[in-house]
Amino acid sequence: METAPLNTATNSKLKAFFIEQLQDIYWAERKFVKKLPKLADAATTQQLKDALANHLSQTKTHVERLEKVFALIGEKAEAKKCPAMAGIFEEGEDIVDETDEGSAQRDVGIVFAAQKAEHYEIATYGGLAQLAKTLGYGEAKDLLGQTLEEEKGADLLLTQIAESGINYQASREKE
Ligand SMILES: [Fe+2]
Ligand SMILES: [Fe+2]
């Protein structure tokens, strides 16, 4: 287990930034654990409900991995509100409010909201994994990289769901 950076010349401001970004995504993941069941309930098709439920269990693992990363670098796991993800979650709630229950249009909207969240996560984990490498936190880099791959997988699945029928169904839906 690596507890100290290999690079002794490491800039402490860079490490502080790394920790801040970890706190940001830790807040977002924990919030996502609360939001995903609501999105799954609101979704129309079983396919989308299943995908969101599956991502909920992955997201719980992402929270645990972040706690491991904090421990690996000798920091307490702390969450700092992420305004960007808070906005994305809010947008998701608005979409549910503005669409009819049981409509394909609602699923189109939920996929949009969920993919925006996934892309934010992909950007953050991609950056964090690279920084962990730079800072010499090999084990943390592996953990962050595992989550990164799962976020990419979730994003791809959402694209497939959109393309497999809900977008088309929504285009044929009565107004
Ligand atoms: Fe995640
Ligand atoms: Fe995710």
73 pLDDT higher than 90: yes
Closest CA to 153 of 127, 113, 121: 121
Confidence of residue 11 (pLDDT cuts 50, 70, 90): confident
Which ligand sits nearest to residue 55's alpha carbon?
2
- From ligand 1's centre to the CA of 44, what distance in Å? 23
- Calpha distance 45→92 (Å, rounded): 17
Instruction: Please provide the average confidence, as pLDDT, over all residues in the chain.
Output: 93
6 pLDDT higher than 90: no
CB 163 within 8 A of CB 155: no
7 pLDDT higher than 90: no
List the chain domain ranges.
12-172
Q: Which residues are within 5 Å of ligand 1 (an ion), measured at CB?
A: 59, 62, 121
- The CATH code belonging to domain 12-172 is 1.20.1260.10
Closest CA to 38 of 53, 26, 28, 27: 53
55 pLDDT higher than 80: yes
Torsion sign (Cα): 95, 99, 103, 104: negative
Q: Given phi > 0 = left and psi -120 to 50 = alpha, else beta, which region is 11?
A: beta
- From ligand 1's centre to the CA of 172, what distance in Å? 33
- From ligand 1's centre to the CA of 59, what distance in Å? 5
Identify the weakest region by mean pLDDT among 37-46, 65-74, 144-153, 163-172.
Answer: 163-172
CB 82 within 8 A of CB 27: yes
- From ligand 2's centre to the CA of 175, what distance in Å? 32
Which ligand sits nearest to residue 114's alpha carbon?
2
Confidence of residue 169 (pLDDT cuts 50, 70, 90): confident
64-69 long-range Cβ contacts below 8 angstroms, 24+ apart: 65/143, 65/144, 65/146, 65/147, 66/22, 66/25, 66/26, 66/29, 67/26, 68/140, 68/143, 69/22, 69/132, 69/137, 69/140, 69/143, 69/144
Which ligand sits nearest to residue 147's alpha carbon?
1
Closest CA to 2 of 119, 123, 135: 135
For the whole model, what pTM was predicted?
A: 0.91
Name the amino acid, one letter, at 154.
A
- From ligand 1's centre to the CA of 73, what distance in Å? 20
Confidence of residue 47 (pLDDT cuts 50, 70, 90): very high
Question: What is the three-class DSSP state of 136?
Answer: coil
- From ligand 1's centre to the CA of 64, what distance in Å? 10
114 pLDDT higher than 70: yes
**pLDDT tens figures, 58-67:** 999 999 999 9
- From ligand 2's centre to the CA of 114, what distance in Å? 8
pLDDT of 2 reads: 47
- From ligand 2's centre to the CA of 118, what distance in Å? 5
Which ligand sits nearest to residue 151's alpha carbon?
2
- Calpha distance 48→42 (Å, rounded): 10
Q: Which residues are within 5 Å of ligand 2 (an ion), measured at CB?
A: 118, 121, 151
